């Protein structure tokens, strides 16, 4: 690769001399090779067009790039306009002629790359900053050492600081094979300072050894600068992996938190192992889907704000179904854990089948609003999606609301009283059966909010809740039954632990490892991270 770049740079002074030479009008002899079949002659003709740098030659280059250049009779070159299929313009005289038997001029991949690179190089001198920016980005994506003279000229004239920095990087990428060791050193330093993972492939050959054991780069200073850049990129890659793992763990933990929070409330207050809890997530997700469809049909201009309606709709839909299930089924099974577990499992199957009958067995898609698309670039190869960040903030807000309800309201006082001592709460006049219903509905509604959040990061289907029910139970047991703080720590702890193990063992073995660790932890501390207070403990 180094030898090839040096070869291209050897021809660069000739190209530079041609560029700075006086422009002249196109002649038929200069365009005639384009209409022939010899690709070497076509390449030479393209070099002449680049050297002229006048409107007529630029028009021919643009036509070659857009496949609008035709070879007419007598080696005549025509330029076809996109809106006229029967006529074309003579590239030299500009007169309109009939296309007739004219055929498109054929270019191989090498010549096409040469034309596109030449156009990008010539646009570096454009007075339009946007055009210069586009040319720089095009050359950065595919740097051409033969464009170095044009890059040198543009670098000397550029006044925009941002574009000047990009030109410095572009110059460095083309100067790594310069004959002057000082220029190679400057180029290696600039490339290393960019801290771009894509530059790794440019720095690695500078420290590589040939078959005979000698270094491909003879100058020790250049090798040292390149090695520093490689070490910096390796360090940045490690930081990026660690940050990505932590964010993935926190993101997973926020989802588990929304699923486990409602389960912690119902399990802590009523003591019911509700195997249908995952279906409350599914109900909240489908409620979000319905609200999205209503906005798309009746208020498309306000579509970006449909989550503001979907959040309360998901809560109310899941809470309503939760009250119905508690009143009709669960309240008759208190104190009978095995029957409750089997019955709620049957309820979950009924809810999933009902969903398939209403919405179909196929997954449905919930679109993100525009303000949730995109992400924040923490590292060049690590982007934090806005939808994941929004769900994290949303889960923390739900935690704050649940904490306020349970600690700052009369309902919360009753719930805590029933949780700690149901018999004594009943003796002082608290209607424990009614509190059970309210607590179950509140927990189901929070699960519905979790389904609303899940709809923003994946498709919605009848089996949505089954993916989170086991992990939710593990988070609740790990944190301590009925303890909000324990559920928060348990959820985020499980998410971080799972994502930390996944790179070494894969997602399946990571789940098994997490389960084994939780079992070992519960053996040592059966009450979980936070012990339940009161006689019921």
Give tens-digit pLDDT for 35-71: 777 788 878 877 777 777 677 777 887 788 777 888 8
Span 62-87, average pLDDT: 76
Q: Which helix (H) or strand (E) is 8 found in, with range? A: helix 2-20
% of the chain with per-residue pLDDT over 90: 18
Provide the pLDDT for residue 24. Answer: 53
For Cα atoms 309, 266, 258, give the angle at the middle one, nearest 5 degrees.
45
Residue 529: CB atoms within 10 Å: 18
Mean pLDDT, the chain, whole residue set: 81
- Domain architecture of the chain: domains with CATH: 2-207 (no CATH), 254-524 (1.10.3470)
Burial 174-199 (b: 16+ CB within 10 A, else e): bbbbbeeeebbbbbbbbbbbbebeeb
pTM listed for this prediction: 0.68
Q: Are 217 and 180 contacting, i.e. CB atoms less than 8 angstroms apart?
A: no
The answer for residues whose C-beta is within 8 angstroms of residue 515's C-beta and 6 or more apart is 474
For 183, residues 6+ apart whose C-beta sits below 8 A from its C-beta are 175
Please write the tens of the pLDDT for every residue from 444-491: 999 999 999 999 888 899 988 888 888 888 888 888 766 778 888 889
Ramachandran angles phi, psi of 248, nearest 5°:
-60, -40
* Structure-token match 């574009």, residue found: 163
CA angle centred on 397, ends 391 and 401, rounded to 5°: 140
Cβ atoms within 10 A of the Cβ of 350, count?
A: 12
How would residue 18 be classed by pLDDT, with cut points 50, 70 and 90? Answer: very low
CA distance 254 to 305: 22
Give me the helix-helix angle, 337-359 and 277-298, nearest 10°.
Answer: 20
Of 310-314, 366-370, 516-520, 531-535, where does the model show the most confidence? Answer: 310-314
């Amino acid at each position: 690769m180094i030898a090839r770049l040096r070869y291209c740079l050897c021809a660069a002074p000739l190209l530079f001399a041609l560029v700075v030479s006086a422009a002249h009008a196109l002649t038929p002899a200069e365009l005639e090779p384009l209409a022939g079949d010899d690709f070497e002659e076509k390449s030479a003709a393209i070099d002449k067009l680049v050297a002229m740098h006048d409107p007529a030659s630029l028009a021919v280059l643009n036509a070659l790039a857009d496949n609008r250049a035709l070879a007419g009779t007598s080696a005549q070159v025509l330029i076809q306009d996109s809106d006229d299929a029967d006529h074309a313009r003579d590239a030299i005289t500009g007169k309109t002629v009939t296309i007739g038997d004219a055929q498109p001029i054929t270019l191989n991949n090498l010549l096409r790359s040469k034309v596109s690179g030449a156009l990008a190089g010539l646009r570096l001198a454009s007075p339009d900053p946007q055009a210069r920016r586009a040319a720089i980005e095009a050359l950065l994506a595919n740097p051409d050492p033969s464009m170095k003279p044009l890059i040198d000229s543009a670098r000397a004239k550029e006044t925009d600081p941002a574009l000047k920095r990009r030109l410095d990087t572009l110059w460095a990428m083309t100067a790594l094979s310069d004959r002057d060791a000082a220029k190679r050193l400057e180029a290696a330093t600039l490339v290393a300072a960019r801290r771009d993972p894509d530059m790794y492939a440019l720095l690695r050959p500078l420290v590589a050894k040939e078959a005979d054991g000698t270094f491909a780069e003879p100058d020790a200073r250049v090798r040292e600068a390149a090695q520093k850049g490689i070490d910096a990129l390796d360090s940045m890659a490690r930081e990026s992996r660690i940050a990505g793992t932590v964010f993935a763990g926190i993101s997973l933990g926020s989802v588990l938190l929304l699923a486990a929070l409602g389960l912690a409330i119902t399990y802590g207050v009523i003591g019911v192992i509700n195997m249908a809890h995952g279906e409350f997530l599914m109900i909240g997700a489908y409620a979000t889907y319905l609200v999205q469809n209503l906005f798309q049909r009746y208020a498309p201009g306000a579509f970006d704000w449909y989550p503001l309606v979907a959040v309360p709709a998901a809560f109310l839909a899941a809470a309503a179904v939760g009250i119905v299930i508690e009143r009709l089924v669960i309240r008759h099974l208190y104190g009978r854990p095995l029957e409750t577990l089997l019955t709620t499992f049957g309820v979950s199957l009924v809810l999933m089948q009902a969903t398939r009958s209403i919405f179909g067995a196929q997954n449905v898609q919930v679109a993100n609003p525009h303000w949730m698309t995109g992400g924040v670039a923490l590292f060049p190869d690590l982007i934090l999606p806005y939808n994941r960040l929004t769900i994290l903030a949303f889960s923390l807000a739900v935690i704050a609301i649940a904490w306020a309800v349970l600690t700052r309201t009369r309902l919360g006082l009753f719930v805590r009283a029933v949780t700690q001592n149901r018999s004594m709460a009943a003796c002082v006049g608290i209607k424990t059966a009614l509190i059970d219903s309210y607590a179950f509905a509140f927990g189901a509604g929070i699960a519905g909010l979790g389904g609303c959040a899940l709809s923003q990061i994946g498709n919605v289907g009848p089996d949505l809740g089954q993916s989170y029910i086991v992990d939710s139970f593990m988070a609740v047991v790990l944190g301590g039954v009925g303890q909000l703080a324990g559920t928060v720590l348990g959820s985020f702890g499980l998410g971080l632990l799972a994502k930390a193990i996944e790179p070494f063992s894969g997602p399946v073995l990571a789940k098994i490892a997490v389960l084994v660790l939780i079992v070992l932890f519960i053996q040592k501390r059966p009450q979980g991270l936070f012990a339940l207070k009161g006689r019921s403990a």
